[in-house]
Structure 1
């Protein structure tokens, strides 16, 4: 084994005014780099960042910072999460040093290509995928008629699908958006709940309304709903319909029965796109009832124009602890034996 070579490399940030953005609030972005490469000593002075240590590790750390500069130049605000995902993508895909050597080749696997992709610009901000898995999910929605987004809470399954729906409506690719969820806690027997129709269904559909309000001017939502351009309804209200020229999202699909899932999928009409989201580890159906989401994942694999995108704890975009909690529970489940519902960090594009 050859001797380890200690080197020093300096990265100069020509625009010194961008240094605070590159460092992050309270230097949090640079701390992510330090934690990712603990054997590298990083010294920041003015607009120069000096890396000292083993040759390979120094090249990797410097390459990660250069990539973050590219991400920042593409208009993406740098956060600790963006830094962690960039480092993970670089080291996981082909190694940070190889990425640095690739330079500005514009290859699609680079973090700058994934993280700078814009889905929807609305209300003064831009909605983008924040992880490699989310980017694959967005691409699947754009290129398939039916897409399944399966993964734990916080992975952006519903939010990104909603952004795609609003973008498609704005681009006139569809004439309307249909959002639906199973009201499983009420067994969909909404008549037994107190209040009028809106009061009955509101608790089950509120998360969809919340996401919608992030992307559409709240004052225009009642008008759009009255015109039928946007419809939010329980899954039971989909029966007997054919949905043409629509972007249809079924949320919390793990709580559908096999019959309900089949009913929903066969509502597909011409010119429509369907996205089905859910977490197969969070099924609230009565004991012995098999989730329609789990069944459809088994039955529909291999059918042309259907994509199955599975997200994992690595794609969680909430507080960092959410990802750690999901990972801890997954390990506990594995230690108790297979249950058939675990998550995989896998993207499968079911298209010939």
Structure 2
């Protein structure tokens, strides 16, 4: 992550670590907080509660472009001299679109005292994280999304830690993030897996590994997106361009005339592909922005160990269950 050890804490989940951080900060009445509505609820509910406790003014950040990409243009009208906290995802777990976090961070930090928090759970399995390059104040992700066990990591910039009222016992030193919010310590057995995961992803030289991952994943998503966009009955949510610099192979869609659950259950009967349906904890995005019902989306999530042959087989499976004669 390119973070210093005293800026990192381990915990059971990103949900819990964000909740812990939200409990440590106090703000003035009518200070403003901006929350992205396209996010997983992990990166919404803790901050909604924090706003209510502190009497903050909450502003929802909803992108208006077709791909629902979060950008500075949609953020700027929400910023003011009273903005104190902004939060968003690096990649939506529904949309798969990569947001320009450094540009957003620059806009946030143009407001004196404003802090920026990013949910990196859906980004970490696909791309290298560098918190200093991103210029974020808080960044969380889960190792169980990065091919490991159920343990997570939170980064907090040293300067941002000055805003935290520690949760730990009074006698524990508070000069590190772990000392401030690492309640009872992380699970030792799970923590021991992290060096092995880091080694698998290139160790101290992860750049070529992640570059290779991006190239391969670009091929995977290009094939599936080409098929989905060729049909006239499928709505793809998020960026339709297969360029791996602007999206990852987390692809969500709905099929005209078929419930998302129906699509998945029919596929389950014909294959062993592991994709699912629903809102995937991005309930506000699916219901309030996309206007979808209880079925939500069909989501297909691919990673570097999937093969092009598997994608071709997946397309054959989909073609066998979706309505006929719908090609554009």
Please give the TM-score of this superposition, normalised by the length of structure 1.
0.24
Q: Which has the higher contact order (CA 8 A, sep 6+)?
A: 2
Please give the TM-score of this superposition, normalised by the length of structure 2.
0.25
Flag the structure with larger Rg.
1
Q: Which has the higher helix share?
A: 1
